């Protein structure tokens, strides 16, 4: 039913997004902008073809589960002797995925009427930002296609 994801590194741990009650990160990207320079940002918003129709209840939790599974499957990269583990943080209407020095935030927006996927990273990490954005979009679009097969493709803005 895709309501939870087991952590491959710690099989005793299970992520159940529907039970998460926290309302967000302690600090937003805009609060961190003053500290970090030369960061680049990008993103997309996926909305149903009928802009006023919310996604079905529970769809975003399934997206969080799929993001957890993807994050847990990622292997640490060795780059200059540095271990770059992937990491994921979940909250009620969002997820933040970090991998290889770049971050993606996936948010349920407009009262369930859209999903925003935002990425950021240092100027030197442009390719990794694009790859993480493409991966998060693919996970989201595949979930929408498998869950809502009769609906047309969502609009990307």
Instruction: Give tens-digit pLDDT for 45-92.
Output: 988 776 677 888 888 889 998 998 888 777 655 444 344 556 888 888
Q: What is the pTM of this model?
A: 0.77
Contact 90, 105 (CB under 8 A): no
Q: How crowded is the C-beta side of 142, counted as CA atoms within 13 Å? A: 10
For residues 115 and 98, the answer to whether their CB atoms sit within 8 Å is no
Sign of CA dihedral 66, 87, 41, 108: positive
Does residue 28 have a pLDDT over 80? Answer: no
Q: Which domains does the chain have, with CATH numbers?
A: 5-21+38-156 (3.30.310)
């Amino acid at each position: 039913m895709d309501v939870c994801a087991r952590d491959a590194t710690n099989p005793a741990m299970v992520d159940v997004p529907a039970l998460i009650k926290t309302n967000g990160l302690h600090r937003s990207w805009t609060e961190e902008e003053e500290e970090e320079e030369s960061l680049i940002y990008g993103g997309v918003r996926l909305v149903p073809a009928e802009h006023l129709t919310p996604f079905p209840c529970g769809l975003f939790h399934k997206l969080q589960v799929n993001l957890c599974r993807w994050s847990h499957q990622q292997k640490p990269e060795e780059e200059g002797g540095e271990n770059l583990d992937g990491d994921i943080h979940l909250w009620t209407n969002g997820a933040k995925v970090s991998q290889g020095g770049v971050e993606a935030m996936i948010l349920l927006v407009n009262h369930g009427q859209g999903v925003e996927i935002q990425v950021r990273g240092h100027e030197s990490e442009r390719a990794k930002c694009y790859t993480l954005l493409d991966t998060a979009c693919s996970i989201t679009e595949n979930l929408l296609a498998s869950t809502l097969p009769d609906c047309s493709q969502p609009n990307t803005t």
